[in-house]
Amino acid sequence: RQGDFSKAKPFLQKDLEWREKMHPELVKQADFPTALASGCWRMLGCTPAGLPVVIIQLGLWDPGKYDVDEYERSIIYFLEKIMGRGRGEKFVVMFDMHGWKLSHVMYMRNIARLLSTLQDHYPERLASALIFRVPGIFASAWRAIKRFVDPATASKVVFVGASPEAEHLAFAAAGAWELIPKSYGGPREGPVPVPNIPGECNVPSAPDLVP
């Protein structure tokens, strides 16, 4: 909390209790099989600056198939594993919002769990969050979601314009352009498996990364 220990102390205590309960370093793929196989989350690689890049496809998100605790374990797994893959401790996340549905609003608990996990237990790890291909119906949902987003996190959120040119500029600014698959207009050849984390097993049945 910006060097103020008196402000940081309660957050530290909460984090220590959470880590004692969750043992994030021990979370494995078998702990969230349905969420993993959905292919919603996968790693694209690392930027030239050494920042891991994760893409999240909302079109593949079906939280009705698993509970919020499995969703939290999936978040923990990715955050724990990608932290050791780059240089430093920050990462870039890309949210492909194509496929966002009004029914997703019913799972606000999941969204709140994502934000609380990131903000309370992995603070200052987010370098930037690129939100692109955003449908108009997401605007009202964002107003509700933003209530859970702290100012430090909100300052790193970038809404990307709808044109291919805007996407190219945003991805390049984040250092991620060379990681972008051809299906998204980028230069990368071949499929992107799930979870695509070095040293971890990929899921053969996971869907392809198709916009």
| pLDDT the model gives residue 9 | 75
Beta carbons of 140 and 104 less than 8 angstroms apart: no
- Burial code (b: 16+ CB inside 10 Å, e: under 16) for 111-139 equals bebbbebbbebbeeebbbbbbbbbeeebe
Q: Residue 167's pLDDT is what?
A: 97
Q: How many CA atoms lie within 13 A of 197 on its CB side?
A: 23
Q: What is the mean pLDDT of residues 114-138?
A: 93
Residue 1 has pLDDT above 60, yes or no: no
Model confidence at 11, pLDDT cuts 50, 70, 90, reads confident
- Please state, in angstroms and rounded to a whole number, the distance separating the CA atoms of residues 129 and 152: 12
Distance between CA atoms of 87 and 73, rounded to whole angstroms? 24
Say what the pTM is. 0.92
Q: b/e per residue, 42-51, with b = 16+ CB within 10 A?
A: bbbbbbeeeb
Peptide bond just before 195 cis, omega within 30 deg:
yes
78-112 residue pLDDT tens:
999 998 776 778 999 999 999 999 899 899 999 99
Phi, psi (degrees; rounded to nearest 5) at 80? -65, -45
Q: What is the mean pLDDT of the chain?
A: 92
- Rg of the chain's alpha carbons, rounded to an integer? 17
With a CB cutoff of 8 Å and minimum separation 6, the contacts of 23 are none
* Nearest-angstrom CA–CA distance, 32 and 110: 14
Structure tokens at 114: 């994502």
What average pLDDT score do residues 52-74 get?
Answer: 96
Task: Give yes or no for residue 196 having a pLDDT over 70.
Answer: yes
pLDDT of residue 3: 53
- 139 confidence band (pLDDT: 50, 70, 90): confident
Does residue 53 surpass a pLDDT of 70?
A: yes
Q: Which of 139-148, 164-173, 195-204 has the weakest average pLDDT?
A: 139-148
Percent of the chain with pLDDT over 70: 96
